[in-house]
Amino acid sequence: MVKQHKKWSTKRKVWTAVATLVVVVGAAILGAGGYFFHVAEVRAKKDFVGSGLVSKKNPLYAQQEKWLAADTKKWQLKADDGTKLVGKYLPAAKKTNKTVIVIHGFGVDHKAMAPYGEMFHRFGYNVLMPDDRASGKSEGKYIGFGYLDAKDYQKWINQVLAKNGKDSEIVVMGASMGAATTMMLSGMNPPSQVKAYIEDSGYTSVADELHYEAGNMYGLPKWLANVLIPVVSGYSKVLAGYSYHQADAEKLLANNKRPMLFIHGDNDKFVPTKFMEPVYQATNGPKEKYLVPGAAHVDSYRTNPAKYEKTVQNFLQKYFN
């Protein structure tokens, strides 16, 4: 009986140790998941992201300053969840029914897209540049990573139609997270007045991008990222209302049949260049791609402004009279 008691006592100690280890490891994973969720989605200054504004040495600086000095009008709306969103609108110099909606990237606001806004305005378009939820003047606690934003941009499109008329012709352009927003939006059956899309430096999915950054920014091994990212996605589903399974540009692009121009720098280390081909292949509409030699993340325009503008113009002239 004494030996049997010792045997069961030993087993209890082993199981207690195992249970304790499981609890500790589980708590560590949940804690780490919470930390990475905060870094990825909670509205706060991101140390690894600048303002998005370019310096005086940048060839796009004059365009940026011209847009920032323009007499833009304030537009606003409420998202489906009540979040107040704010945007800047600049009508074309000559009255037109053609409007470009320009979408900014992660951790910045619409001002980061000022050179693009000036470009499209110079091309003769009305230009609408909102601040995404959890960015700039817009409300919101959690970053939408393209998925919530795509739903918000459905409402911005409807506002363009309400203000500028049902005969509007609209192109949607975005960079980085804005490019992912553009691609996700294309798969959500937006109004028929949206004629074409331009994405610059977008990712295939939030999960793919975070897997990449887990290694690139934090040096985490792949197996650990595979454990943590579903946990972060769970936090996102509970707190922000969407999972990373939903925020998948590549999957949503399969629903798109409208024209899209894909742009990426071949030296992109933030949203790696390898993401360009899967999204290009995924869409089912007319498509073109422009791979820019030597360009880093969202640096294609600055790298060769003349060719960038010509590529965009040539693409749009096929679908806008």
pLDDT at 26: 54
Report which of 283, 306, 304, 279 is spatially closest to residue 294, judged by C-alpha positions. 304
- H helix runs in 173-216, sequence order: 177-186, 206-216
pLDDT at 44: 87
185-193 mean pLDDT: 97
Quick: pLDDT tens for 162-182. Answer: 999 999 999 999 999 999 999
pLDDT at 47: 78
Residues 6+ apart with CB under 8 A from 86: 74, 75, 76, 130, 131, 136, 137, 138
- CA distances to 59, 67, 68, 88, 162 from 62, rounded to whole Å, are 7, 9, 10, 19, 33
Quick: pLDDT tens for 131-166. Answer: 999 999 999 999 999 999 999 999 999 999 999 999
Q: What is the token pair recorded at 147?
A: 């998925």
What pTM value is reported for the model?
0.91
CA distance 191 to 250: 20
CA distance 119 to 156: 20
Q: What is the token pair recorded at 180?
A: 């992912």
CA distance 77 to 159: 8
Is 231's pLDDT higher than 70? yes
Quick: pLDDT tens for 2-46. Answer: 455 555 556 555 555 545 544 455 566 778 888 888 889 999 888
Q: Are strands 84-90 and 73-78 parallel, antiparallel or unpaired?
A: antiparallel
The secondary structure of 58-101 as a DSSP string is STTHHHHHHHHHS--EEEEEE-TTS-EEEEEEE--SS--SEEEE
CA distance 128 to 67: 12
Q: What is the token pair recorded at 195?
A: 């004629």
Q: How far is CA 43 from the centre of its chain?
A: 15
Quick: pLDDT tens for 191-204. Answer: 999 999 999 999 99
Q: What is the DSSP letter of 54?
A: P
Give the burial class of 232: count Cβ atoms within 10 A of its Cβ; 0-12 exposed, 13-18 middle, 19 or more buried.
buried
- H helix runs in the chain, sequence order: 2-41, 61-69, 114-122, 147-164, 177-186, 206-216, 222-235, 249-253, 276-282, 300-303, 305-317
Question: Which amino acid does the sequence have at 297?
Answer: H
